[in-house]
């Protein structure tokens, strides 16, 4: 009888330790997802911080294009007001849409810039464009890192036996960044 009691106690202790280990692993990966999300937001913020300088530089040389400059400023304002929620697909889609609007507005601005060779020769403008290009590359890298981290986390919370612990403690699936609408369409370039 005493041996059975010790076996039961040992099994309970093993289960508690195992559950604690799985829980700690889930917490670690959940925090990794949050860190990756923060890094994506950090790079998006860098882009948003560059936009006022870019707009002011373009303003002087391309005063007739105020509508496009206004669209860029408005897109930036919407982007700064939108928060990301990795556990809510609709909120994540809204966040991606707002960031896509910023990209679209910047693309239109860059198309306008091509009509102003004087602007293209200004060193400050070229420096801003280099920084913006680098930032766009950083965004792509950080979004990939975020998606990789989310993928690992989502696999972990869905695989047996960790899914039991995830369910017990309320760990939810995180949403990944998706490609912007129309990203699968090859742009037509005419010379």
In a domain, 188, yes or no: no
Question: Domain count of the chain?
Answer: 1
In a domain, 179, yes or no: no
Secondary structure letter of residue 121 according to DSSP = T
Residue 189, pLDDT above cutoff 90: no
Which domain, by its residues, includes 123?
2-169
In a domain, 108, yes or no: yes
pLDDT at residue 120, as a whole number: 65
Instruction: Please tell me whether residue 71 adopts helix, strand or coil conformation.
Output: helix
Instruction: Tell me which residue of 26, 59, 156, 51 sits closest to 101, measured CA to CA.
Output: 51
Q: pLDDT tens digits for 110-131?
A: 776 676 666 666 677 778 788 8
Secondary structure letter of residue 63 according to DSSP = G
Residue 191, pLDDT above cutoff 60: no
In a domain, 123, yes or no: yes
pLDDT at residue 153, as a whole number: 95
| CATH number, residue 34 | 1.20.1440.20
Burial of residue 2, with CB atoms counted within 10 A of its CB: 0-12 exposed, 13-18 middle, 19 or more buried = exposed
- 80-102: average pLDDT: 78
Cβ atoms < 10 Å from Cβ of 138: 17
In a domain, 50, yes or no: yes
In a domain, 159, yes or no: yes
pLDDT, greater one: 70 or 150: 150
Cα-only R_g, the chain = 24
């Amino acid at each position: 009888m005493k041996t059975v009691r010790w076996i039961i106690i040992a099994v309970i202790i093993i289960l508690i330790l195992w559950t604690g280990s799985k829980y700690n692993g889930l917490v670690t990966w959940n925090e990794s997802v949050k860190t990756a999300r923060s890094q994506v937001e950090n790079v998006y913020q860098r882009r948003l911080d560059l936009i006022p300088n870019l707009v002011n530089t373009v303003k002087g040389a391309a005063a007739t294009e105020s509508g496009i400059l206004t669209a860029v400023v408005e897109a930036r304002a919407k982007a700064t007001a939108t928060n990301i929620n990795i556990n809510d697909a609709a909120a994540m889609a809204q966040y991606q849409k707002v960031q896509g609007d910023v990209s679209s507005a910047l693309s239109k601005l860059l198309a306008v810039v091509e009509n102003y060779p004087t602007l293209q020769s200004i060193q400050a403008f070229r420096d801003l464009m280099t920084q913006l290009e680098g930032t766009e590359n950083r965004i792509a890298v950080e979004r990939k890192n975020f998606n990789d981290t989310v993928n690992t986390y989502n696999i972990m919370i869905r695989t047996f036996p960790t899914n039991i612990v995830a369910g017990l403690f309320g760990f939810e699936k995180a949403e990944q960044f998706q490609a912007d609408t129309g990203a699968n369409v090859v742009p037509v370039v005419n010379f």
